[in-house]
Amino acid sequence: MCDQTIMSPGTLARLVCEWPDLSLGDIVHIVQYDAIEGYLVRTTTHLEEIWLPVHVLSNYNRKPWSFRFRKPSFPSHGRRSVDGNSLQENVINEVSCPEFLDKMKNLAAQCGSKVVFKCKVKSCGGNMKISWRKTEPDPCVMRSSGRFVLNRSNGVASLTINNSRLSDSGSYLCTISNEIGSTQCSAILTVTDSLPPLTEPKANVISCSSVLLEWENDTYDKFLVEYCKIGSGEWLSPNNGQAITARAYTVEHLTAGETYSFRIVAAHNKLVGLPSAAVTLPVADSIRWQQEQFKRRYIELEEIGRGRFAIVRKAKDRGTGQEVALKEIIRRKQSHKITQAEYALLAGIRFQNIIHALALFENAPIPGVDTIVLELVKGALLFDYICEKEMYTELEIKNYSKQVISAVNWLHDQNLAHLDIKPENIMVDLSGVDPILKLIDFGDCVNTNTSVILPPACLEFASPELVLGQPVGQHTDLWAVGVLLYVLLSGVSPFLDDSVEETTANILKCDYCFPDEYFSDISLAVRDLIQKLLVLVPIKRISMGDCLDSSWFKEVRTKDVGISATNLQTFMQRRHPANLTSKTSTFCTD
């Protein structure tokens, strides 16, 4: 589960575990908090702000979780320490925002020469940290080792590269930070041999998905072609790195509507040429047709949900007047292939407790966004619906749980796993006589014939194998259902503790209990069922089919004691602090 203390915008946070393109201990800036998506952060390795789950971040002022022995304390008057990554100086004085007095400049050098990047740093006090990174090509953290030397002296931070090589060419970034904030400066290093550098290629758009590159060079005889989608920071090869001898090449299979830059690399010494001017590809006729069809058919109304990869809007069919939900998925966050698979799954499902898909529009309403048209659930999240009452009963929870377990059991019978079962992905349809639960958001749903490793989207409902980065599958759903039952019956979380580290430890030890304060009137049968679901060894967890055959669903209790909704209300307020007073119905996705 996410830490109870919400970090405000501007706060420095530290990564407490590895994350794609980031490392344990990296410092990021909090830009925005969202109860479902986590934190929007600014990092030194991304050209744009990115979302990170709450469980991977810890306040920078807190001691990071580590298995190292505690270091002895130092005198309060100050300390200077040096490691391979950065230079730190702790001095008790007035702390101000970091600032460069002189920024480093672009450099050019011959192979074998010494290169020194320098930047003058204003003394800002506090726990100041200076770090260096090579951002492209081949991004990496710079450390003092071998040919590389990091230094700081008399307010000047420097990066020295001895015996420079052609592969050292690229962009370098220097970051200074303290408790107040951080700032960065960058410069480009061009290392050449005795041969002249490569010029930028001329890029000519020839279709909505292809660009013709042409360049002049009489020095080299073989070339590599690379392209980069603006904003990604990643240079890719269009032909799997095969060298060509021609002075022209057509790059195909690009995305219409996107903006690209191109460059040429000398094959024999990997000398990188200058990038071309950015070109934006036109929208294809087929894409324009999709967009026109979308606009002709649907009137987009208000936003009703937001998740990690998508925004959900309410809409009305112009022809039939039917209200639907539009799940608009951003391609750079979730691949088109996954979106197609999600739609194919939901379109083929005819199970009353699983949401049904009606249509898929590609690159609509705008390029780079795919839209799945879904049935509109006219109701709220299940937990919000229960929290509107003062009391509810175990019998009600049994009826709700049977619907959820039936939906998951249907998926498992199809050799599928949901992999993201949590309160935000269970809605209740109130349009009929009886409430009907709907399981939503199948972005993580995969075929369990393949071992898949996923990062935990929400630590509170994550199984031990998900926390450890091990393969997940149907057994992952079983654990999440156990946590769900526990929370529904008590209003409290079985593994939540004072910190992310302690919560993680509780999950990995399966350390939980049934306090009398919450479970004294709850039947022993459902407690036994929860114990069979919350098992450390995945293969020993009870299946969904066996859950439906358990004594809890078969027993008839003569006394159905009420459960106060207060604890569950507190649980939801903690997960969604921005919606403490909101009672509006919503379609929510993650």
Residues with catalytic function: 420
554 assigned to a ligand binding site: no
Separation CA 158–CA 119 (nearest Å)? 7
Q: How far apart are the first and last CA of the chain?
A: 15
Angle, to 10 degrees, between the axis of helix 474-490 and the axis of helix 566-575?
Answer: 130
Place of tokens 């979308």: 294
Do β-strands 107-110 and 182-192 pair in parallel, antiparallel, or remain unpaired?
A: parallel
CA dihedral 478, 482, 485, 490 (to 10 degrees): -170
Q: Do residues 45 and 135 lie in contact, with contact meaning Cβ atoms separated by under 8 Å?
A: yes
Separation CA 77–CA 114 (nearest Å)? 38
Separation CA 40–CA 205 (nearest Å)? 35
Separation CA 184–CA 46 (nearest Å)? 13
| CA distances from residue 398 to 244, 405, 548, 563, 565 in whole angstroms, order as listed | 66, 10, 10, 13, 16
Report the run of H or E that residue 320 belongs to, with start and end: none
Q: Do residues 314 and 302 lie in contact, with contact meaning Cβ atoms separated by under 8 Å?
A: yes
Contacts of 458 (CB under 8 A, 6+ apart): 1, 2, 53, 55, 420, 422
Contacts of 321 (CB under 8 A, 6+ apart): none
- Binding-site residue numbers for ATP are 327
